[in-house]
Structure 1
Amino acid sequence: MEALAHIEAKINEFLKELESPLVLALSANLQRGKMLRSKLALQIAGESEECLLLCAILEMIQSASLLHDDVIDDALTRRSKPSINALFGNKNAIMLGDVFYSKAFCELTRFASKYPEIPRIIANAVSTLAVGEMEDVELAKSFNDEEAKYLTMIEHKTAALIEAAAYAAAFLAHKSREVAEDFRIYGRNLGIAFQIIDDVLDIISDSKTLGKPALSDFKEGKTTLPYIYLYAKLNDSDKMRLKNAFGCDLSPMEQDWILENLQTQGAIAQSIALAKSLGNCGIEAIANHSCDKLIQIMREMIERDF
C-alpha cells in the first residue's frame, strides 16, 4: 500500500505544478478506485522512481477517462459518492479530465529518450480508449445482440490501458520485446475479463456493495454480455420483451423477470466462464516468467464481488 500512497502523492505534485486552486479543489473530490493498472505495473517493473512515474501517469489517464465517461453516461455517482459532474457540472468535469490527460502526456515525455517505446504504447492506448468510448455510445443507441461487437468495444474501452500498463512496465523492466509481448497479452486478457466481471456484478451485486442500483447498465442503455447471452436463449416473444425493456425504468415485475431469466438461462454462468477462460489464457502467456503475484491479481479480479 505504501507504493500506492507514493503514486497518489506524485499525482498531487503534478497538479500543484499547475498552480490552480480550482484544479486542486475539484481533484480533491475524485474517488480513486482499485488502482489496478498501477498494481500491475509495480508487479512487473518493481517499485522504482520510474515505475512510480509511469503509475501516476496511468492513474491520471484513467481518472480523465472516468471523468469524461460520467458526463457521457449522465452518471451522478462514482463508487457510492457524488461524481464530479454531479458536484460541479459537466463543463468542469470535462475540463478537469482534459487537465488530467494533458498533464499526464506532458509527464509521459520524460520516458522518450531512455524508453522510447513507452510514450507510444501509452499514447496508442489512449487513442484506442477514446475509440472504445465512441463505440460504447454507438452501441447504446439500440439493443445489441452481437457478442463480437461488445467484446471489441470493451477491449478498446477498458482493456487497452490495462494492456498498455503491462506492456510498458515490461519495457521498463528491461524485458525483451518477445517477453514484453507475453505481458501485453496478459494485460489485454485481464482487462477484458475485468470488464466482463464488472458487467456481471452490475446484475448480481446488491446496490450497497456496488454503489449503484442493480441492472443500472441495462436501464442506461448498455447491452452487456449477460443480456446478449440471454437474448440468444429466449424464444421470439421473450426476445421482444427483453428488447422492449432496454433503456427503460423497469417495474419490479419486469426487473424480477430479467434477473430470474439471467440466472435460469445460464447467461450469468456463461459470462463468468468466458472471463475465467480469458483469465487462464492470460496466465498461460506469462507461465514461464515466474509471476505468481500476477496470477493472483488475475484470479482476484475475476473472483471479486465488487
Structure 2
Amino acid sequence: MINNNSKQDLNTEMITIDEAIRQVKLTVDKTLNKSPLIIREFTKHLALSKGKFIRAYSVIMCAEDKDGMVHPNAVKIAAAIEILHLATLVHDDIIDDADLRRGQATLQKKYGKRTAVICGDYLLSVSLRMVASISNKKEYLDLEIHDYVGRVCLGELNQHINSSNVNLSIYQYLKIISGKTAALFEASFLAGAIFSKATEAERNRYKQLGFYIGMIFQLTDDCIDFENTVETANKPVQSDYEHGVITLPLINALQKMGDLKAKALDKGITRSEINDAVEKTGGLEFTRMVVKKYYNKSMGVIDRLDLSDSKKERLTLLLNKASRLS
C-alpha cells in the first residue's frame, strides 16, 4: 500500500507524461547500449529492433495522477517491464526458431541459441534489479513483479506442453494466453495504478483492464498471422501452426471440421489447408467477436474508473491500438 503522507512523496518532483515516456526510452536505450562489455554486442543488437513500448506506455498512462503528472519511480517500473518483455521475446524466438523480429535478425539467428538464452536470462535479471532499485520500495509491495514473471513462464510452458495439440479447447487456449501475454499487461496497469495512488478497488479495476487489453492484444495478433505479410508485420507470419502453436482461428476451424482434425491427427495439414479452413469456418470473424467481447468489457471498466477526460482518452486510444481500431 502507498502511504500518501510519506515524506519522500512530499519532496518528490513529479514529471509530465511526455517527460516520463522520454525517460523510459532513454533508460531502456542506456540499459541495452551500455551493458557490460562481455554482453554489449548482443544487447546493442536488440536495441536496433525497438518495439512499440505499449506495456511501458500502459504503466505511465495509468500512473497519471489527478494533476496530470507522473511519479518518477514509475519510469523505472515501466522500463523494467519493457526489458522483461524483451527477455520473453528473446526466449520466444529460440523456442520458435524464428529468424526475424521487428524487421531485424533475431538474436538466436545471428549469434546462436546458447548466446540468446544467456542474454534473455541477463535481461530478466536486469529487469528485476530495476524493480528492486526504486526508492521507498516498501510502499510498493502490492506490485509483486516476481509473481507476474512466474505467470508468464507458466503460460509459455503451458503453450509448449500443448504444442501441436489439435484437441486444444477454446478455454485452454484462453488460459494459455492469459499467462503468456495478458499477465504482463495486467502488471503494467497495476503498476501505474499504484503510482497514481489509486484505492484498492480502483487498482483491481486497473488490473482487470490490463488483463482484458492483454487478451485483446494476443487475439488480434493471432489474426495478423493470417492476414499480414512478413514485410508488413516485420516478423514471421503464416507460421504459428508450423511451430506447434494452435491459435483461436484454427481452433474454431478444427472444432467445426471433424475431417480437418482427423487429417491433422493422422498426417498433418498444410498451410494452404489451414488458410482455407479458417476462411471457410469464419475463424478470423470468430476471433474478432471474442476480441469485441473483451473490448466491451474494457470500455465498461474505463467507464467505472474515476478518470480525467484526458486520461480516459489516452486509455481508450491504447485499447483501440491493441484492437487495431486506430
TM-score, normalised by the number of residues in structure 2:
0.84
Give ranges in structure 2 of 5+ residues lacking alignment. 1-17, 65-69
- What is the CA-CA distance between 1:275 and the residue it aligns to? 0.9
> Which of 123, 131, 138 is residue 113 of structure 1 equivalent to?
138
Q: Which residue of 2 aligns with 1:216?
A: 239
SS state at 1:34 partner: coil
Distance 1:175 1:64 in 2: 29
Q: Which residue of 1 aligns with 2:88?
A: 65
**In the alignment, is residue 138 of structure 1 matched against residue 161 of structure 2?**
yes
- What is the CA-CA distance between 1:5 and the residue it aligns to? 4.0
> Which of 72, 82, 85 is residue 108 of structure 2 equivalent to?
85
Residues 177 and 67 of structure 1: CA distance in aligned 2, closer, same or farther (over 3 Å): same
Residues 86 and 62 of structure 1: CA distance in aligned 2, closer, same or farther (over 3 Å): same
Distance 1:81 1:88 in 2: 13
SS state at 1:23 partner: helix
Q: Which residue of 2 aligns with 1:283?
A: 299
Q: Which residue of 1 aligns with 2:282?
A: 266
Q: Letter of the aligned partner of 2:139 in structure 1? A: K
Distance 1:245 1:208 in 2: 31
Q: Which residue of 1 aligns with 2:313?
A: 292
SS state at 2:133 partner: helix
8 A contact 1:144–1:223 mirrored in 2 = no
Distance 1:95 1:171 in 2: 32
Deviations 1:3-25 (A, max 9, x none): 4442132134445775x123222
8 A contact 2:182–2:210 mirrored in 1 = yes
Give ranges in structure 1 of 5+ residues lacking alignment. none
Distance 1:17 1:239 in 2: 50
- What is the CA-CA distance between 1:215 and the residue it aligns to? 1.9
Deviations 1:211-257 (A, max 9, x none): 345421011111100001111111x32332344575x7x3xxxx334
SS state at 1:223 partner: coil
**In the alignment, is residue 152 of structure 1 matched against residue 175 of structure 2?**
yes
**In the alignment, is residue 161 of structure 1 matched against residue 179 of structure 2?**
no
Runs of 4+ in 1 over 6 A off after TM superposition: none
Distance 1:4 1:265 in 2: 43
Deviations 1:25-49 (A, max 9, x none): 2111112211111111111113442
> Which of 63, 71, 74 is residue 45 of structure 1 equivalent to?
63
Q: CA RMSD in A?
A: 2.1
Q: Which residue of 1 aligns with 2:54?
A: 36
8 A contact 2:71–2:195 mirrored in 1 = no
- Tell me the matched-pair count: 295
Distance 1:128 1:268 in 2: 27
Q: Letter of the aligned partner of 1:77 in structure 2? A: L
Distance 1:17 1:117 in 2: 31
Q: Which residue of 2 aligns with 1:226?
A: 249
Residues 232 and 2 of structure 1: CA distance in aligned 2, closer, same or farther (over 3 Å): same
Distance 1:174 1:217 in 2: 41
**In the alignment, is residue 24 of structure 1 matched against residue 40 of structure 2?**
yes
Q: Letter of the aligned partner of 1:81 in structure 2? A: Q
Q: 5-14 or 80-89, which moves further after superposition?
A: 5-14
Q: Which residue of 1 aligns with 2:26?
A: 9
Residues 16 and 271 of structure 1: CA distance in aligned 2, closer, same or farther (over 3 Å): closer
8 A contact 2:98–2:236 mirrored in 1 = no
Distance 2:43 2:55 in 1: 20
Residues 197 and 244 of structure 1: CA distance in aligned 2, closer, same or farther (over 3 Å): farther
Q: 68-77 or 9-18, which moves further after superposition?
A: 9-18
Distance 1:148 1:39 in 2: 29
Distance 1:85 1:276 in 2: 36
Residues 170 and 224 of structure 1: CA distance in aligned 2, closer, same or farther (over 3 Å): same
Q: Letter of the aligned partner of 2:114 in structure 1? A: K
> Which of 247, 258, 261 is residue 239 of structure 1 equivalent to?
261
Q: Which residue of 1 aligns with 2:195?
A: 172
8 A contact 1:155–1:188 mirrored in 2 = yes
Q: 24-33 or 128-137, which moves further after superposition?
A: 24-33
SS state at 1:75 partner: coil
- What is the CA-CA distance between 1:94 and the residue it aligns to? 1.1
8 A contact 2:164–2:246 mirrored in 1 = no
8 A contact 1:230–1:267 mirrored in 2 = yes
Residues 78 and 214 of structure 1: CA distance in aligned 2, closer, same or farther (over 3 Å): closer
